[in-house]
């Protein structure tokens, strides 16, 4: 949060607007004393930048302020304010220059560019991007209410290029939105002279993609929609409505139940060697007395618990391998 510096030599164009943009808390006498202890060359440099900006850009507002830590800063922003919930009335673009020459170029409080300058000419180049003289325009993005009713309620998904922003402002735009951009040479006269908000190239591409997708959904026939909910359909589920997705999963469950009924009692033909091996396995598993005798001998030698754990582990592994082989063949077995 920034606060006013008690500098009587600075004349503000509109005190109410400045208070709204830069904070309503004025500096205390202690902060003024701390600023006066700073080298005069620093204060002179910021004052020089402010004076040069006011002379060249009458549409901008300049104010030397102090931050909470007492450091000085020069803020440059436009005088016109726009409503951007939940912030309210705010200047869309501004440049904050600190005493050490570091600057922060912000659009809607988003940091667009950071760097360091040392001359007035370099500062004028930054102010040129803020001023109307620079020819820069603000990209409004996509109206949230219009996007919901016209696009999202129909296509039922958000493209990867789309970006939702909630803080510090509520906004929908492209992930490559420039926010504050200079018009192309082939821009129309209406965009150059009469429009303050002009959509950037990234958001225009996003709108074109949304319109193409909208047209494709509207041209989809009822037969195609019915095919999308079939159990065998490979249509991506993320494009389905909640009702269609529920119907597709019901169809998949019904098909799965039918397959289990058809293949649960399917007989498997084995060769003589395979039959003998399977019989030996079944006999050994079913012969509880022989198995218990082996465990009892193991208890006498102190390894009974280890034998039991090993038997359970081997039994589960054999069962999983056997079931996996049968599933690869597309059939279910009743041996295990």
pLDDT at 254: 87
Q: What is the pLDDT of residue 297?
A: 76
SS (HEC) of 19-88: HHHHCCCECCHHHHHHHHCCCHHHHHHHHHHHHHHHHHCCCEEEEEEEECCCCEEEEEEECCCEEECCCE
pLDDT value of position 16: 46
Q: What is the DSSP string of 122-165?
A: HHHHHHHHHSGGGTEEE---B-HHHIIIIIIHHH-S--TTEEEE
Give the pLDDT of residue 109: 87
Which residue ranges in the chain fall short of pLDDT 50? 1-27, 32, 35-44, 331-336
**127-136 pLDDT per residue, tens:** 999 998 888 9
What pLDDT was estimated at residue 204? 93
The SS3 of residue 2 is strand
Place of tokens 């041209």: 219
- State pTM to two decimals: 0.57
| CA torsion angle 142 144 150 152 (round to 10) | 100
Taking only the tens place, the pLDDT of each residue in 82-94 is 998 888 899 999 9
């Amino acid at each position: 949060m920034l606060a006013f510096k008690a500098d009587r030599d600075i004349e503000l164009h509109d005190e109410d607007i400045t208070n709204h943009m830069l904070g309503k808390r004025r500096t205390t006498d202690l902060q003024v004393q701390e600023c006066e202890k700073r080298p005069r060359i620093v204060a002179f440099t910021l004052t020089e930048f402010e004076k040069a900006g006011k002379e060249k850009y009458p549409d901008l507002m300049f104010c030397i302020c102090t931050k909470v830590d007492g450091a000085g800063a020069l803020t440059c922003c436009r005088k016109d304010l726009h409503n951007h919930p939940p912030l309210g009335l705010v200047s869309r673009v501004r440049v904050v220059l600190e005493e050490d020459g570091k600057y922060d170029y912000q659009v809607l409080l988003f940091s667009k560019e950071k760097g360091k300058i040392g001359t007035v000419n370099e500062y004028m180049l930054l102010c040129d991007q803020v001023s109307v003289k620079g020819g820069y325009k603000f990209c409004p993005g996509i109206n949230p209410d219009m996007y919901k009713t016209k696009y999202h309620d129909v296509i039922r998904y958000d493209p990867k290029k789309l970006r939702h922003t909630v803080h510090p402002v509520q906004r929908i735009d492209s992930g490559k939105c420039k926010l504050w951009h200079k018009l192309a040479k082939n821009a129309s006269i209406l965009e150059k002279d009469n429009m303050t908000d002009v959509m950037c190239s990234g958001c225009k591409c996003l709108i074109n993609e949304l319109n193409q997708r909208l047209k494709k959904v509207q041209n989809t026939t009822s037969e195609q929609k019915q095919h999308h909910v079939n159990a065998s359909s490979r249509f991506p589920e993320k494009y389905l409505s909640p009702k269609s997705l529920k119907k597709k999963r019901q169809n998949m469950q019904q098909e799965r139940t039918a397959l289990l009924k058809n293949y649960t009692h399917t007989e498997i033909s084995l060769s003589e060697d395979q039959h003998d091996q399977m019989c030996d396995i079944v006999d050994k598993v079913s012969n509880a007395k022989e198995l218990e005798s082996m465990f009892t001998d193991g208890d006498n030698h102190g390894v009974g618990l280890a034998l039991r754990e090993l038997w359970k582990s081997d039994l589960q592994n054999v069962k999983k391998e056997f079931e996996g082989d049968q599933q690869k063949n597309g059939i279910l077995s009743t041996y295990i």
